[in-house]
Structure 1
Amino acid sequence: MKIRKLELKDKFGMLEWMIDPEINSYFRFDPNKISEEQIIDFITNADVNEKDKHFAIVDQNDEYLGTISLKNINYQDANAEYAISLRKKAMGNNIAKRATDKIIDIAFKELELHKVYLNVISSNTRAIRFYEKYGFKYEGEFAEHVIIRGKYENLKWYSIIKSCQNN
């Protein structure tokens, strides 16, 4: 498993997880409005600006397994938002941990950030279990902060600080 720059050949794997109801039920976008053109645009612009860094997670055969990102990179405050999305076939086999190791390494060593944070829908227990096991620390919860499928949802906030990293 490695991470690399997103490539146009990754679009079909991206579309797979985006339209999977089991996976996208916790995402804020409307899966019925995702088009191949939007995915191509995302891939094409994935590394255009310094505020967002998106990578493909791939296996030894360079097959796309998911996307991992540092978003909203703030160099002044030395922090960024973490995000990960995996295809079903990549779940449950340590790929998320290994990819997260790599992106956290980029954040703290290459970008010299101090903190990496994330938010997650409070009912997304699978993701929360992973984040807590990985070492992200719970910081709090915003009540009824986002609307997903017409319903207000709470967001839990987690972070990992460079000096506190323990993995």
Structure 2
Amino acid sequence: MEQKLRLRTIEKTDLEFLHKLNNDPDVMKFWFEEPYMSMEKLKEAHEKSQNSTQHRQFILALDNEKIGYVGLFDMEERHRNAEFGIMIDPEFQGNGYAGKATKLALEYGFQQLNLHKIFLFVAKKNEKAIHIYEKIGFQIEGELKEHFFVDGTYHDAVMMRIFQRDF
């Protein structure tokens, strides 16, 4: 029997899982953020997000197991664009879930939200992720030199985008 990968809305019961991801240095370095998130701060952010029209956040589930987090952020109503972000639990990395989850998020963003453009930032040295995004149809828009500070050094990043018409 084939397992089903899907996106579902985040519930309060998911906050422990998100807390684990947000405090994992190996996960957060790809978000260019410090792995430092208290449960209280996470609860507060979850409450605020319930009424947000600018963000859509999902748990990536494999059948009923939580394996990651996917989000569309800072949606611009007039310009119809949003930033994409994804976290895969390290226990489930390397199984092709990132590409499939990205496609699910793009389908949602383009078909449900009628977004025109979805963009992302990725570390230039993360060639594996860039390759996955390019296979899906993202194109590089530009490079940001020494843009993010992680683990004591500055890192270059690439901004990538995909238009609705190209998906």
TM-score strictly above 0.5: yes
Corresponding residue SS for 2:49: coil
Q: Counterpart of 2:133 in structure 1: which amino acid?
A: Y
Please show how residues 13-28 of structure 1 align to structure 2 within 5 Å. 13-28=17-32
Paired-residue identity, %: 28
RMSD, matched Cα: 1.7
Corresponding residue SS for 2:142: strand
CA deviation profile, 1:57-99 (whole Å, cap 9, x unmatched): 11212x2211111111012111111111110122222322222
Size of the alignment, in residue pairs? 163
C-alpha deviation, 1:43, in angstroms: 2.8
Please show how residues 80-91 of structure 1 align to structure 2 within 5 Å. 80-91=82-93
Paired residues of 2:25 and 2:34 also in contact (CA < 8 A): no
What TM-score, normalized by structure 2, do the two folds share?
0.88
Query: Structure 1 regions of 5+ residues with no counterpart?
Result: none
Please show how residues 55-94 of structure 1 align to structure 2 within 5 Å. 55-61=58-64, 63-94=65-96
Please show how residues 119-130 of structure 1 align to structure 2 within 5 Å. 119-130=121-132
> Within 1, Cα distance between the matches of 2:51 and 2:96?
30
Paired residues of 2:103 and 2:136 also in contact (CA < 8 A): no
CA deviation profile, 1:129-154 (whole Å, cap 9, x unmatched): 22122221111101112222332221
Query: Structure 2 regions of 5+ residues with no counterpart?
Result: none
Paired residues of 2:71 and 2:85 also in contact (CA < 8 A): yes
What TM-score, normalized by structure 1, do the two folds share?
0.88
| Structure 1 residue aligned with 2:42 | 39
Q: Which runs of 4+ in 1 moved over 3 A?
A: none
C-alpha deviation, 1:39, in angstroms: 2.1
> Within 1, Cα distance between the matches of 2:131 and 2:52?
32
CA deviation profile, 1:6-43 (whole Å, cap 9, x unmatched): 11221222222223332222333221x32111222233
Q: Does 1:9 align with 2:13?
A: yes
Paired residues of 2:99 and 2:133 also in contact (CA < 8 A): no
